[in-house]
Amino acid sequence: MQSRILSAAVVGVDARLVEVECDVSGAVMAFDTVGLPELSVREARYRVRSAMRASGLKFPGRSVLINLAPADLRKDGTCYDLPLALALLAADGTLPPGVLDGFVVVGELSLMGGVRPAVGVLAMAQLVRDLGLRGILCPADNVAEARAVHGIEVRAAQMLAGVVDCLRSGAAWPEPACMPRPVAPRSHDLCWSDIRGHAVAKRALEVAAAGGHNAVMVGTPGTGKTMLARRLPSILPPLDANEAVEVTKVHSVAGLLHSGAGLLTERPFRAPHHTISAAALVGGGSIPKPGEVSLAHRGVLFLDELAEYPRYVLETLRQPLEDGTVTVTRARQVARFPSQVMLVAALNPCPCGRQGSATHACTCSPVALNRYRGRLSGPLLDRIDLQVRVPALEAGALRGGPDGDTSDTVRGRVCAARRVQYDRFGPGVTNATVPMPRLRNMSPLATPVHDVLLRALEMFGLSPRAHDRIWRVARTIADLGGVHAVEIGHIAEALQYRCFDEPCAPLATRAAAA
């Protein structure tokens, strides 16, 4: 006899439908799986056999052929255990025909018949909705994740024996014994007011948070660059409903969701070590998985000690930062991962870290200094909107309690600026991500204001990309100030945040005075 059960495979962060076809025939006991199964899928025969016996179900003593269609799509992971077992039981006559029509089935089986969680269930639930299918049968630990997609039926599987009993009897599907609860928003222990001094750097990061801009901080060791970056999530707005689904789907595909977790509500903050490989940073592998830049989607990717990263690793960030998407091409498939992140980086001014220090002399040779700076290419730095120096604090600045506004106060200003941008461009679109033609049409610069920006380009050799990014930052500064049109003062402040283009500072000062 033959049977068919629907399942799904994850490619990138999206799911594709997989048909698990089973044929039970002949008198010789055999078990074959075809359709480009990886090792974990081929090993399913052992888990299925043991789980069925532990559940009191008879394993067919005949030839079993499993086909995973489409046959040209590589299948990996353990999510096919449960659909494979149910297809076997349906082909052997244990389950009534058509009992799971319209349902996508996923789940890993334990040797004792339990159903373990799978990865990528949120993407699979979205596939069910998009195809107009009835629902999804998934492990109980993935129910909260699947129920984030509305308009489909979600059934929980805890034990193989319980699933078979429900399918045989047609009884109402039971709820999990312990209903999974969504992850609650975490409270930030780090507060913006913990930062002493650094008014310019704090203002720059507030602008970056308000517009979703990339930022880099340069300063001698111990000046507070990492401390500033670590407190950046405390002033970012919470994820909206669509952004929460996007972020949760990436973490689900990567297998990083906690058991029973629902939608993530806090923006991610990822801080990989400088020894990370290019594939781990942007994604890859023989079966492509999301990298750190995708795990930070809609959040912050913090690269500490930026110049210590190998240059070829940093260069892989150029396309993801520009396009907001990572495309990983392999011989058999193409996977795409979202990468709309705020890149925040910190680095020392030189290898010894003392260049520009008022108390210590720099010991770096010109060759060492050129080699150090050469790790950061011009095209990469051109994609960073705000470049800020973080000077050492005077001793007196460390006395006393909290300094300045709290995270809640700054977050309120950031959220207000984001709402202005969403009203102007649409949900989820910030000044850093809006296409430049739309920004030009919806927020044009007056002729005197644009003249200041164009003079900066001509006098100091700034690129057209720098022209656009300064315009974007100035628009964010105006939004923070509640000003409708970008003014010369906004352009002047945006030019001040270009410490790698040192001549911009005098021009900005003259523009502000004018």
- The domain containing residue 44 runs over which residues? 2-169
Q: Does 416 fall in a domain?
A: no
Indicate whether 397 pLDDT > 80. no
Q: Does 264 fall in a domain?
A: yes
pLDDT value of residue 183: 45
Mark whether 220 and 331 lie in a shared domain. Answer: yes
pLDDT value of residue 57: 94
Query: What does the pLDDT look like over 358-389, one tens digit per residue?
Result: 778 888 888 988 888 888 888 888 889 999 99
Indicate whether 286 pLDDT > 70. yes
Q: Does 414 fall in a domain?
A: no
Mark whether 165 and 31 lie in a shared domain. Answer: yes
Mark whether 367 and 252 lie in a shared domain. Answer: yes
CA distances from 255 to 208, 261, 305, 324 (A): 30, 12, 28, 22
Pairing mode, if any, of strands 334-338 and 325-329? antiparallel
Mark whether 28 and 145 lie in a shared domain. Answer: yes
Contact 113, 161 (CB under 8 A): yes
Q: Does 283 fall in a domain?
A: yes
Q: Coil, strand, or helix at residue 459?
A: helix
Q: Out of 9-23, 170-184, 375-389, 493-507, pick the least confident.
A: 170-184
pLDDT value of residue 501: 63
CATH number of 132's domain: 3.30.230.10
Mark whether 213 and 298 lie in a shared domain. Answer: yes
Mean pLDDT of the chain: 89
Q: Does 347 fall in a domain?
A: yes
Query: What does the pLDDT look like over 207-260, one tens digit per residue?
Result: 999 999 999 999 999 888 999 999 999 999 999 999 999 999 999 999 998 877
**Residue 27: partners with Cβ closer than 8 Å, 6 or more residues away:** 62, 63
Mark whether 159 and 235 lie in a shared domain. Answer: no
Instruction: Indicate the residue type of 458.
Output: E
Q: Coil, strand, or helix at residue 32?
A: strand
Task: Work out how many domains the chain is built from and give that number.
Answer: 3
CA distances from 185 to 150, 246, 294, 295 (A): 21, 17, 21, 18
Q: Does 185 fall in a domain?
A: no
**Residue 48: partners with Cβ closer than 8 Å, 6 or more residues away:** 59, 81, 84, 85, 88, 109
pLDDT value of residue 265: 87
Indicate whether 45 pLDDT > 90. yes
Mark whether 388 and 488 lie in a shared domain. Answer: no
Mark whether 106 and 60 lie in a shared domain. Answer: yes
Alpha-carbon span 238 to 246, nearest angstrom: 13
Mark whether 380 and 446 lie in a shared domain. Answer: no
Mark whether 206 and 344 lie in a shared domain. Answer: yes
Query: What does the pLDDT look like over 118-166, one tens digit per residue?
Result: 999 999 999 999 999 999 999 999 999 999 999 999 999 999 999 999 9
- Over 123-176, what HEC string results? HHHHHHHHHCCCEEEEEHHHHHHHCCCCCCEEEEECEHHHHHHHHHHCCCCCCC
